Amino acid sequence: MTEPKLRILIIGAHPDDADIKAGGTAAKWCQAGHEVKLVSLTNGQAGHHLMPGPALAERRRAEAQAAAAIIGATYQVGSWPDGFLDDRLDYRLSVIRLIREFRPDLVITHRTSDYHPDHRFTGLLVQDASYLVTVPAICPETPPLVASPVILYFWDNFQKPCRFEPHIVVDIGPEFDRLVAMLDCHRSQFYEWLPYNGGYAAEVPPEPGARRAWLGERLRRRIRPLADRYREPLLRTYGPEQGRRVEYVEAFEVSEYGAPLDPAARARLFPFLPAAAPSGGIQRKEWVDVPEE
């Protein structure tokens, strides 16, 4: 019996966030025939030093869609202004509708511990929608979900108020070149704005082939340390022999606000990972009644 297609929704704040945090794993799902939708909640119009505004927003939309086409995914870029995301009610309702309309098996987004306010509020908006997607009286024009999907968070380096926990670690070595190809589409970011903002614009080669090779090497330096940082979960996931060889990974933390990631859910949502030993999985905390004092 053929397994049904998975529906994977990856929600970032800006038009390159979903790619750089989960593009390799997204490529695995697409290659296996599953449906992947990448999302940017903002239009990215503030992410440039020379051309901010509507022209940049249109450019970034085109770059995002080109990146998604590399792996056979789709990319939805929103109209909310870059740098102004917050937790207002109409944003929450829009995220509820977004999740309901796509009806995902899995949602991946930012943690609420992050340097960028747009990242933090993206995570918060998904968190706030996680239960309300099942409530028929909220956004009644869009049919509710029967249950919340599993929700994961992108990896990050932030330590306070709580640090990232690597519940799922994926070897993306075989997908590394396609990930670089995706990021190469975001030229306004990786060859213009980020080098300017980071003070290394003079390093960017002018010729496209050399530029892409330069980007690939920068990405290698950025993510290669993650494999050593998460070597223990890699060994548990892939076994000692393969786990020691992994060089490039993407890692995800399970949100307690979504459905539980038990072994059956893990096997269904991550069919490209080796079978996990039964351990009860990562469960969502349930509501408990606290006696009044």
The answer to the question of residue 104 being in a domain is: yes
Domain presence at residue 111 = yes
Q: Looking at the domain assignment, is residue 2 inside a domain?
A: no
Other C-beta atoms lying within 10 Å of the C-beta of residue 240:
10
Q: What is the dihedral of CA 157, 109, 67, 35, to 10 degrees?
A: 140
Give residue-wise pLDDT tens across range 139-162.
Answer: 999 999 999 999 999 999 999 899
Q: Which long-range contacts (CB under 8 A, 24 or more apart) does 238-247 make?
A: 238/171, 238/274, 239/274, 242/171, 246/171, 246/173, 247/173
Residue 165 domain flag: yes
Domain containing 221: what range?
A: 7-269
- CA–CA distance, 99 with 108 (Å, rounded to integer): 11
The model carries a pTM of 0.93
Question: For the chain, give me the number of helices (H) and strands (E)?
Answer: 10, 7
Residue 286 confidence class, pLDDT cut points 50, 70, 90: very low
286 belongs to a structural domain: no
Residue 288 covered by a domain: no
The answer as to whether 274 is a domain residue is: no
How many residues make up the chain in this entry? 293
Condensed to tens digits (0 to 9), the pLDDT of residues 208-236 reads 999 999 999 999 999 999 999 999 999 99
The number of distinct structural domains making up the chain is 1
Domain for residue 176, yes or no? Answer: yes
Provide the CATH number for the domain around residue 223. Answer: 3.40.50.10320
β-pairing, 35-42 vs 106-109, is unpaired
Residue 143, both tokens: 């049919």
